[in-house]
Amino acid sequence: MERKIATLAVILSVTAIVLAMDPGRFGFKKVDVGGHELRMFISGQGGPAVVFEAGGSPANGGPLEAWERVQPAVSKFATAVSYDRAGIGWSDPGPKPRDARKVARELHTALQNAHVPPPYILVGHSFGGPLSRVYADLYPGEVAGLVLIDPTTEEFVDWEQTHDPKHVERHDDEWKDIVDSLAEARASRVPDGVPVILITAMGPRKLPDFVTEEQRKELRTLRPVWLKFHEEWVGKIPKGRHIITENSGHGVPFEEPELVVKLIREVVEQARK
């Protein structure tokens, strides 16, 4: 899975630019979650609060700066919360294993201790998608909506494991966290009546010149499969909506933030009604 996801992320996003940004450009706070602290950035006001979950594995993902092109706009109409998971960015390391349920419980504690009351609109990008789904399953009474941005799906990872000729078995802690998290996501369910929007990125229409022919061929194989599993998953959700964009690649929050903000606003307004 890691090679396929990396291809999507590296070629079609600018994550490296986001990660290189000055961590001090935002005001932030450290919030205790039971022996270790998470860095959080809270802005705006009004409920339901919008809570962002960055991509990457549970213990090795993006920092809160990944949302720097989305959060300021969301803050104009709702409370917005981004954070670094334990061991990521400027958050303290947390106890192992780092599976999705551990991440969800720590986020739940952090929101309580930061005095951000529910309900929440959960916004998850890439692997932040299954992490957000697990949170919604653990705390269904606190969740008012889900916005899943080009999310990883268990079915795609299963497909990749059986179709990748270069697949190499992994047994490290990070991979175990990934496998356990996906199993937890598979067992989770979206709370009844909660609106869900899933964004699939099928762009950009024109790939940069530095993308090799081998990479282009791989993307031509991956994109339809990625889309297929998104369609199947959201099709099972009674209040699910599927948005397909060809204007951005996997890095939608950075490449097409206006789309993300627009859809978050729609879910916030729907929850307020």
The burial of 183, by beta-carbon neighbours within 10 Å (0-12 exposed, 13-18 middle, 19 or more buried), is given as middle
Tens of pLDDT, residue by residue over 107-155, are 999 999 999 999 999 999 999 999 999 999 999 999 999 999 999 999 9
Domains identified in the chain, total number? 1
Closest CA to 65 of 30, 106, 16: 16
CB-side neighbour CA atoms (13 Å) of 225:
19
- Residue 95 backbone zone (phi > 0: left; psi -120 to 50: alpha; other: beta): beta
Q: What is the pTM of this model?
A: 0.88
Instruction: Please give the pLDDT value at position 102.
Output: 97
- Provide the token pair at 158: 């299963």
Sequence-distant (6+) residues with CB within 8 A of 29 are 39, 40, 41, 42, 114
- Provide the token pair at 144: 């008012």
Range of the domain at 78: 2-272
Sequence-distant (6+) residues with CB within 8 A of 183 are 154
Domain of 119, CATH number, reads: 3.40.50.1820
Looking up tokens 């992994």 gives 170
Instruction: Please give the pLDDT value at position 12.
Output: 41
Instruction: Please give the pLDDT value at position 106.
Output: 98
Please check whether residue 215 is in contact with residue 94, taking contact to mean a CB–CB distance below 8 angstroms: no
d(CA 222, CA 165): 14
